[in-house]
Amino acid sequence: MIKNEKQYRITNAQVRRFQDALAELAGQQRPSNIAPRLWEAQRQAARSQMEELREQVKAYERLHVGQSKVVVLKAVEDLPKALIRARIAAGMTQEGLARRLGVKPQQVQRYEATEYESASFARILKVVQALGLTLPKAVRLVRNA
């Protein structure tokens, strides 16, 4: 998941490197000491990795340009990523969130890098408030069998 502009630029550069590498491979003959299936598996792995990075770029762009204003939370475990997506969708940088929280930008970077693992519940509530998020009026409880 891309969490900021720097990661966005790095990921785009990685996509371009994969494109260049795949174009170079397409123009090469398979070396005789590499089995055809292995040769194709290597190329497919590179294509797959490139597509995964492209999807991350597209997801970030959709959030960043405001195409996605609703962040769906399907499980409590998804809350950290939902907070990051909500910040991006709000057009807020990590620095902007840090200002609203009264902390250094590096603290927000750490929270997001670890998906809020070290953040207290009180801090998470402040992040929710700083982002202006609202929660549904009802929470559905599911019993485990």
pLDDT tens per residue, range 70-123: 777 788 889 999 999 999 999 999 999 999 999 999 999 999 999 999 999 999
Per DSSP, helices labelled H in 65-119 are: 79-89, 94-101, 105-113
45-72 tens-digit pLDDT: 999 999 999 999 999 998 888 776 777 7
pLDDT of residue 142 exceeding 80: no
**What is the pLDDT at residue 72?**
76
The mean per-residue pLDDT over the stretch 31-42 comes to: 92
pLDDT of residue 145 exceeding 70: no
Total residues found in the chain within this entry: 145
Q: What is the DSSP secondary structure assignment for residue 29, as one 8-state letter? A: P
132: left (phi over 0), alpha (psi -120 to 50) or beta: left
CATH class of the domain at 76-130? mainly alpha
pTM: 0.78
**What is the pLDDT at residue 140?**
72
Residue 126 CA from chain centroid, whole number: 22
**What is the pLDDT at residue 73?**
78
